[in-house]
Amino acid sequence: MQQLQLEQQRLQLQQSTDRELQRQLEFEKQQAELYRKRHSEPPQSKNKAKNPN
């Protein structure tokens, strides 16, 4: 009986770990997308209105 309980706890821990890893991967994917968007657009100059050249 104790062996069954330990196995159930192990499975719950593994599932929890898998969910946390999935959330972390999703977060990193979103961060990479934001980074690409920010760094793929040409920089906009704030001085354009002051200096048209």
Token readout for 15 is 């599932």
In a 3-state reduction of DSSP, which class is residue 50?
coil
Predicted confidence at residue 11, as pLDDT, reads 97
Tokens representing residue 23 in the block: 């959330």
Least confident of 4-8, 26-30, 38-42: 38-42
Question: From CA 29, how far away is CA 22, in angstroms rounded?
Answer: 11
Identify how many contiguous H helices and E strands the chain contains and give both numbers.
Answer: 1, 0
Judge whether residue 5 has pLDDT over 90: yes
